[in-house]
Amino acid sequence: MPVFFEGEGFATVMTDDFKRKPAFYALRDTLKQAAREEDCKKHR
């Protein structure tokens, strides 16, 4: 967040050249799990 922390970069899940940061995988896994839980609720 360069506006607040100079030299720190942006708070994103990918680098400037679109390489995935560890946060990308954490976000992906969290969204997958949330989708599975929502699907389970629909089938009750």
- pTM beyond 0.85: the answer is no
pLDDT tens digit sequence for 19-41: 999 999 999 999 999 988 777 77
Place 18 in a pLDDT band, splitting at 50, 70 and 90.
Answer: very high
Q: Establish if 27 belongs to a structural domain.
A: yes
Q: Is 33 helix (H, G, I), strand (E, B) or coil?
A: helix
Question: Residue 30 is part of which domain span?
Answer: 13-44
Nearest CA-CA partner of 28 in 11, 42, 14: 14
pLDDT for 25 equals 97
**What is the number of domains present in the chain?**
1
Both tokens of 37, joined, read: 């839980």
pLDDT for 22 equals 94
| Element holding 44 (H helix, E strand) | none
Q: Establish if 7 belongs to a structural domain.
A: no
Q: Establish if 32 belongs to a structural domain.
A: yes
pLDDT for 43 equals 63
27 vs 44, residue with greater confidence: 27
